[in-house]
Amino acid sequence: MIPSGVRPTPYIYSEAQIAALMREASALKPTGSLRPHTYTTLIGLLASCGLRPGEAVRLRDADVEMEATPPRLVIRETKFRSLG
């Protein structure tokens, strides 16, 4: 058990490990469903954008601003409940 107030050392996945995770996610069943695409996209967002899982699953279509220069994601509710 980790003592209160002590943070565990974060684990940083290598590019190869992320690629392997995404490859495995793309093979999820049922074949032809959205499940493999959803998990592959989620892993990619977590790895490339530094999003927390809760932030990623709360994203909506309107949060993707492709017309902005550069394109961006709007994270509406962060870890500390701030609105962005």
In a domain, 69, yes or no: yes
Co-location of 45 and 23 in the same domain: yes
Q: What is the pLDDT of residue 10?
A: 87
Question: What is the number of structural domains in the chain?
Answer: 2
pLDDT tens digits for 12-41?
999 999 999 999 999 999 999 999 999 999
pLDDT of residue 77: 75
In a domain, 26, yes or no: yes
Domain residue limits at 69: 60-84
CA distance linking residue 36 with residue 40, whole number of Å: 6
Give the pTM: 0.77
Domain for residue 45, yes or no? yes
Question: What kind and span of H or E run contains 65?
Answer: strand 64-65
| pLDDT at residue number 24 | 98
Instruction: Specify if 31 maps to a domain.
Output: yes
With beta carbons less than 8 A apart as the criterion, state whether 72 and 49 touch. Answer: no
Same domain, 45 and 69: no
